[in-house]
A and B are shown apart, each in its own frame.
Chain A
Amino acid sequence: MNWGFLTDLLRISLHAMVPITLTAVGEIVGETAGLFNIGLEGIILISALAGALGAEAGGPMVGLLAGMLVGALISLIFSIINTYWKGDQMITGIGINLFAAGFVAFGLIRLGSPGFHSVTRTAQIAKIQTPIGSLSPMIFVALVVPFIIHWFLKRTRAGLILKAAGENPEAADVAGINVNLVRLLATTFGGILAGLGGAYMSIAWFGSVTKDISAGRGFIALATVVFSGLNPLLALLGGFIFGFFQSLATWIKTLPSKPIPWQFVEMLPYIVTLLVVAGAIGRVRFPKELGKPYKRE
Chain B
Amino acid sequence: MTDKDRINRNEPSRDYYLRAEGITKVYSNGTVALKEADLEIHRGEIIGLLGENGAGKTTFTKILSGLLPPTKGRVISPRGSVRFKSPREALSFGIGMVYQHFALVGTFNAAENVALSHDHPFSPIQLTATKKKLEQLMEESGLRVPLDVPVEKLAVGEQQRVEILKVLSRDVDLLILDEPTSVLTPLEVDELFALLRRLKDAGKSIILITHKLKEVGSVTDRVVVLRHGEMVGDVPTAQASTEQLAQLMVGKALDEEANAVELQDKGLPTAERERANVRTEQPVLEVSGLTVKGNTGEVAVDNLSFEVYGGEIFGVAGVEGNGQSELVEALTGLRSAEKGKASINGKNILGLDPREIYMLGVAHIPEDRWRLGLVLPFTLAENAILGVQRWDEFRGPMSFLRWGKVNQHVRELMKRFEIRATGPSAPAKSLSGGNQQKLIVGRELAKDPHIVVASQPTRGLDIGAAKYIRDLLVEMRNKGRAILLVSADLDEVLALSDRIAIMYEGKFMTIASPKDLDRETIGMLMGGAAVKEGAV
Stretch at the interface among A52-60, A70-78, A86-94, A150-158: A150-158
Taking a contact as CB atoms closer than 8 A, the residue among B86, B102, B103, B116 that contacts A161 in the complex is B116
- Mark A141-165 against chain B: 1 for CB-CB distance below 8 A, else 0: 0000000000000011110110110
Interface residues of B in 67-123 (CB under 8 A from A): 86-88, 102-108, 112-113, 115-118, 120-123
In the bound complex, do residue B87 and residue A176 qualify as a contact, i.e. CB atoms below 8 Å apart? yes
Q: Which of A158, A176, A177, A285 has the most CB of B within 10 A?
A: A176
Interface stretch (choices A17-25, A167-175, A259-267): A167-175
A31–chain B nearest beta-carbon distance, Å? 14
Closest to A151 in B: B124
Q: Is the CB of B108 within 8 A of A156?
A: no
Q: Is A117 an interface residue (CB 8 A)?
A: no
**For A163, A167, A168, which residue has the most chain B Cβ atoms within 10 angstroms?**
A168
Given A171-B103, A171-B105, is A157 in contact with B120 using a C-beta cutoff of 8 Å? yes
CA distance A11 to B117 in the complex (A): 47
A175 to B116, CA, bound (A): 7
A156, A158, A175: which contacts B117 (Cβ < 8 A)?
A175
* Chain B residues whose C-beta falls within 8 Å of the C-beta of A172 in the assembled complex: 105, 116
Q: Given A157-B115, A160-B115 in contact, is the A168-B105 Cβ separation under 8 Å?
A: yes
CB-based contact A155/B106 at 8 Å: no
Q: Evaluate whether A163 and B87 lie within 8 angstroms (CB atoms) in the complex, with A156-B122, A156-B125 already known.
A: no
Instruction: Tell whether, in the assembled complex, residue A160 and residue B106 are in contact, meaning their CB atoms are under 8 Å apart.
Output: no
For chain B, what secondary structure do more than half of its interface residues adopt (helix, strand, loop), or is it mixed?
loop
Q: Bound complex: CA of A218 vs CA of B94, how far in Å?
A: 48
Minimum CB–CB distance for B364 against chain A, Å:
27
Chain B proximity of A165: nearest CB distance (Å): 9
The verdict on A288 contacting chain B, using a C-beta distance below 8 Å, is yes
Known: A157-B121, A158-B121, A174-B87. A285 touches B115 (CB 8 A): no
Once the chains bind, are B124 and A155 in contact (CB under 8 Å)?
yes
* CB pair A168 B104 closer than 8 Å: yes
Which residues of chain A are within 8 angstroms of B116 by Cβ–Cβ distance? 157, 160-161, 164, 171-172, 175, 177
Contacting B at CB under 8 A, from A155-206, are 155-158, 160-161, 163-164, 167-168, 170-172, 174-177
Asked if residues B125 and A155 are in contact (CB atoms below 8 Å), the reply is yes
Query: For B108, what are the chain A residues with a Cβ–Cβ distance below 8 Å?
Result: 160, 163-164, 167
Q: Note all chain B residues with C-beta closer than 8 A to A158.
A: 121-122
Binary contact track B307-322/A, C-beta < 8 Å → 1, others 0: 0000000000000000
Size range of the chain A interface in the assembly: 20 to 34
| Distance A39 CA – B263 CA, assembled complex (angstroms) | 61
Q: How far is the CA of A222 from the CA of B381 in the complex (A)?
A: 43
Q: Determine whether the beta carbon of B105 is less than 8 Å from that of A167.
A: yes
Question: Considering the chains assembled together, what is the distance between the CA atoms of A163 and B112 in angstroms?
Answer: 11
Q: Which of A157, A170, A172, A175 has the most CB of B within 10 A?
A: A157
Residues on A with beta carbons closer than 8 Å to the beta carbon of B102: 171
Assuming the contacts A168-B105, A175-B88, asked whether A161 and B117 have C-beta atoms less than 8 A apart, the reply is no
Closest beta carbon of chain B to A148's beta carbon, Å: 13
CA distance A163 to B88 in the complex (A): 19
> Does the CB pair B103–A174 fall under 8 Å?
yes
Residue on A with the closest CB to B124? A156
A174 and chain B: residue at smallest CB distance: B103
Q: Which residue of B lies closest to A152 (CB)?
A: B124
Q: Chain A residue with minimal CB distance to B122?
A: A158
Rounded to whole Å, the gap between the CB of A34 and the closest CB of chain B is 12
**Chain A residue at smallest Cβ distance from B150:** A285
Do A176 and B117 touch across chains, with their CB atoms under 8 A apart?
yes
With A157-B122, A174-B87, A175-B88: A164-B115 Cβ-Cβ less than 8 Å: no
Chain A, Cβ-Cβ closest to B92: A176
> Which B residues from 118 to 137 make CB contacts under 8 A with A?
118, 120-125, 127
Minimum CB–CB distance from B309 to chain A (whole Å) comes to: 42
> A70–B86 Cα gap in the complex (Å)?
37
| Residue of B with least CB distance to A156 | B124
Given contacts A160-B116, A161-B121, A164-B116, whether A176 and B88 have CB atoms under 8 Å apart is yes
In the bound complex, what is the Cα–Cα distance between A65 and B112 (angstroms)?
A: 36
Using CB atoms, name the residue of chain A closest to B120: A157
Q: List B contacts of A171 (CB < 8 A).
A: 102-105, 113, 116
Smallest CB separation, B131 vs chain A (Å):
14
Kindly provide the distance from the CB of A174 to the nearest chain B CB, expressed in whole angstroms.
4
A264-297 to B contact mask, C-beta < 8 Å, 1/0: 0000000000000000000001011000000000
Instruction: Give the chain A neighbours of B115 by CB distance below 8 A.
Output: 157, 160
**Shortest distance in angstroms between A48's beta carbon and chain B's nearest beta carbon?**
32
- In whole angstroms, how far apart are the Cα atoms of A174 and B101 in the complex? 12
CA distance A168 to B151 in the complex (A): 12
Chain A residues near B118: list those with CB within 8 A: 157
For the complex, give the distance between the alpha carbons of A156 and B123 in Å.
7
Query: Using Cβ atoms and an 8 Å threshold, which residues of chain B touch A287?
Result: 107
In angstroms, Cα B113 to Cα A172, docked, is 10
A164 and B125 CA atoms in complex are apart in Å by 15
Name B105's contact: one of A156, A164, A176 (CB within 8 Å). Answer: A164
Which residue on chain B has the smallest CB distance to residue A168? B105
Closest to A159 in B: B125
Interchain CB contact under 8 A, A160 and B125: yes
Q: How far is the CA of A63 from the CA of B57 in the complex (A)?
A: 61
Q: A175-B88, A176-B88 known; A167 and B121 CB under 8 Å? A: no
Which A-chain residue is minimally distant from B118 (CB atoms)?
A: A157
Inter-subunit contact B122/A170 (CB<8 Å): no
Do the beta carbons of B86 and A160 come within 8 Å of each other?
no
Cα A287 to Cα B106 in complex, Å, equals: 10
Q: Which of B106, B116, B120 has the largest count of A CB atoms less than 10 A from its CB?
A: B116
Kindly provide the distance from the CB of B155 to the nearest chain A CB, expressed in whole angstroms.
19
Residues of B within 8 A of A160 (CB): 108, 112, 115-116, 125
- Chain A, residue nearest B102 (CB): A171
- Cα A157 to Cα B130 in complex, Å, equals 12
Query: Smallest CB–CB gap between B115 and chain A, Å?
Result: 6
Q: Point out the residues of chain A lying under 8 angstroms from B105, CB to CB.
A: 163-164, 167-168, 171-172
26 interchain pairs, CB-CB under 8 A: A155-B124, A155-B127, A156-B123, A156-B124, A156-B125, A157-B116, A157-B121, A157-B122, A157-B123, A157-B125, A160-B112, A160-B115, A160-B125, A161-B116, A164-B116, A167-B105, A167-B106, A167-B108, A168-B105, A171-B104, A172-B116, A174-B87, A174-B103, A175-B103, A176-B87, A177-B116
List the 6 closest pairs (A to B, CB-CB), nearest first. A176-B88, A171-B103, A174-B103, A157-B125, A175-B117, A168-B105
List 19 other contacts, CB 8 Å, given A155-B125, A167-B105, A171-B104. A155-B124, A157-B122, A157-B124, A160-B112, A160-B115, A160-B116, A161-B121, A167-B107, A167-B108, A170-B103, A171-B102, A171-B103, A171-B105, A171-B116, A172-B116, A175-B116, A175-B117, A177-B116, A288-B106
Give the interface of A toward B (CB within 8 A): 155-158, 160-161, 163-164, 167-168, 170-172, 174-177, 285, 287-288
